Amino acid sequence: MTDDQRMYDFVKAVYETGKPSRGRVAAGQIMPHLDLDPQNLTDEDERYYMKVAQRCAEAGYIYKRADRYQVVEITESGKQYVERGL
């Protein structure tokens, strides 16, 4: 899977999961969309999640609402990114 696909999957998870909560999503809700088990995270899994989250934030697709991207919120740019598709 490419980095672009990982970013898209992350932002899409935030977009779809966050609709009922005004766009705010917890890491544990996003992780399964990245094939990560939030109940059994390894250090490598956590680094992977952080790397993808940071790239999405740098691209302007999400806001970090809590330390270590434990809660994120989608931006308007992120919504457009998902709606355009890859």
pLDDT one-digit tens code per residue, 20-66: 777 789 999 999 999 999 999 999 999 999 999 999 999 999 999 99
Confidence of residue 85 (pLDDT cuts 50, 70, 90): confident
C-alpha span between 38 and 80 (Å, rounded): 27
**Token duo for residue 49:** 């999640």
HSE, side-chain direction, 13 A CA sphere, residue 45: 15
Per-residue pLDDT at 81: 96
Q: Are 8 and 86 contacting, i.e. CB atoms less than 8 angstroms apart?
A: yes
> Measured over all CA atoms, what is the biggest interatomic distance in the chain, rounded to whole angstroms?
33
Show the domains of the chain with their CATH numbers: 3-84 (1.10.10.10)
Q: Say what the pLDDT of residue 86 is.
A: 67
Contacts of 65 (CB under 8 A, 6+ apart): 24, 71, 72, 73
Helix-helix angle 76-84:3-18, to 10 degrees: 110
Span 6-18, average pLDDT: 95
